[in-house]
């Protein structure tokens, strides 16, 4: 949601031939704040959307998901309130790209966007990870999916899907198995990939456990991703 809003902000800004700094000056914001809005890294409130609408000469509904082009007619108050109610009931959780060794997992450079979630959920207990590759395809987790991860440092049961840092390398998503002798085996849900065998848990850092998957709808012809 926030990524789509950000893309529309950027498009409208460029149509006005404004730099990020120029738009920020109109709104009393820094260029960095505008950059974060455009990349979907920061949740934008309805008040700032209304100010953007005025500064960029676009109807406020133009910036909300599901509205492709600004409409000439003014939306009804009930329609706008409905969109605002839905918008205000959402917050965002961090979407992480590849997490490399030597970086804190939740450092800013690892965050590639935000995933909207209802405010009722304890969002601080979750993060999302963008899937790279097809090693978990057998579990219904495909490349490009966003996997919802519950932050915790332990495994609840044998056979659980975990997000883990292995041997100080990049984060991986695998099925956790622990043998009676203490050896750990991380198994892909795709037979094309070999198991990862660990003789000691000291080489493994559990960053969270699988809590769900978000799949993007198929792109429409001519749609830019």
Q: Which domain holds residue 79?
A: 2-88
Nearest-Å Rg of the Cα atoms of the chain is 21
Q: 111 with 174, same domain?
A: yes
State the catalytic residue, choosing from 174, 178, 200, 224: 174
Cα 147 to Cα 95: distance, rounded to the nearest angstrom: 9
Question: pLDDT averaged over the chain?
Answer: 76
Number of structural domains (the chain) is: 2
Higher-scoring residue by pLDDT: 164, 96: 164
For the segment 166-193, what is each residue's pLDDT rounded down to a tens digit?
877 778 899 999 988 888 999 999 999 9
Q: 79 with 97, same domain?
A: no
Q: What letter does residue 79 receive in the DSSP assignment?
A: H
Res 113 pLDDT > 80: no
Cα 123 to Cα 149: distance, rounded to the nearest angstrom: 10
Residue 33 lies in a domain: yes
The helices-and-strands tally (H runs, E runs) of the chain is 5, 9
**Catalytic residue check, 107:** no
Q: 69 with 169, same domain?
A: no
CA distances to 2, 107, 119, 126, 220 from 92, in Å: 8, 16, 8, 10, 25
**Range with the lowest mean pLDDT among 2-6, 160-164, 172-176?**
2-6
Res 225 pLDDT > 50: no
Res 40 pLDDT > 90: no
Using the 3D structure, point to which of 62, 88, 114 is the last residue of a domain: 88
The whole-number pLDDT of residue 100 equals 42
Q: 187 with 98, same domain?
A: yes
Strand order in the sheet with 184-187: 111-118, 90-96, 126-130, 146-151, 204-214, 161-166, 171-178, 184-187, 196-198
Q: 43 with 56, same domain?
A: yes
Question: Quick check: 60 and 50 in contact, CB under 8 A?
Answer: yes
Q: How confident is the model at residue 122 (pLDDT cuts 50, 70, 90)?
A: low
CATH code of the domain containing 75: 1.10.260.40
Residue 99 lies in a domain: yes
Q: 48 with 99, same domain?
A: no
**Catalytic residue check, 76:** no
**DSSP output for 47-98:** HHHHHHHHHHT--GGGGSTT--S--SSPPPHHHHHHHHHHHHTEEEEEEE-P
Question: Quick check: 2 and 92 in contact, CB under 8 A?
Answer: yes
Cα 63 to Cα 22: distance, rounded to the nearest angstrom: 19
Question: Quick check: 105 and 153 in contact, CB under 8 A?
Answer: no
For the segment 141-161, what is each residue's pLDDT rounded down to a tens digit?
888 888 888 889 999 999 999
Phi, psi dihedrals of residue 138, rounded to the nearest 5°: -65, -15
Q: 208 with 100, same domain?
A: yes
State the catalytic residue, choosing from 124, 135, 180, 200: 135
**Range with the lowest mean pLDDT among 6-20, 60-74, 155-169?**
60-74
Q: 31 with 130, same domain?
A: no
Q: 7 with 116, same domain?
A: no
Tell me the two tokens of residue 215: 């799949």
The whole-number pLDDT of residue 13 equals 92
Residues 6+ apart with CB under 8 A from 213: 140, 141, 145, 146, 147, 148
Q: 123 with 179, same domain?
A: yes
CATH code of the domain containing 149: 2.10.109.10
Q: 192 with 123, same domain?
A: yes
For the segment 46-60, what is each residue's pLDDT rounded down to a tens digit?
667 778 888 888 876
- Placement of tokens 């914001």 in the chain: 29
Q: Could you give the 3-state DSSP secondary structure of residue 10?
A: helix
Residues 6+ apart with CB under 8 A from 109: 103
């Amino acid at each position: 949601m926030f990524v789509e809003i950000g893309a529309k902000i950027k498009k409208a800004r460029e149509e006005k031939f404004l730099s990020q700094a120029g738009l920020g000056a109109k709104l009393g914001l820094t260029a960095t704040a505008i950059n974060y809005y455009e990349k979907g890294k920061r949740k934008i409130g309805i008040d700032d959307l209304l100010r953007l609408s005025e500064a960029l000469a676009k109807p406020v509904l133009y910036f909300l998901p599901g509205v492709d082009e600004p409409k000439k007619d003014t939306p009804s108050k009930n329609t706008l309130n409905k969109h605002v109610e839905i918008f205000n009931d959402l917050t965002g959780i961090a979407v992480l790209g590849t997490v490399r060794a030597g970086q804190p997992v939740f450092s800013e450079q690892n965050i590639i966007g935000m995933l909207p979630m209802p405010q009722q959920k304890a969002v601080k207990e979750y993060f999302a990870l963008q899937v790279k590759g097809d090693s978990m395809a057998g579990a219904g987790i495909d490349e490009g999916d966003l996997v919802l991860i519950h932050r915790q440092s332990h495994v609840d049961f044998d056979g659980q899907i975990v997000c883990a840092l292995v041997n100080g390398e990049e984060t991986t998503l695998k099925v956790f198995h622990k043998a009676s002798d203490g050896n750990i085996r991380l198994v892909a849900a795709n037979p094309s990939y070999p198991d990862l065998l660990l003789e000691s848990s000291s080489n493994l850092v559990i960053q969270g456990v699988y809590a769900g998957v978000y799949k993007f709808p198929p792109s429409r012809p001519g749609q830019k991703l």
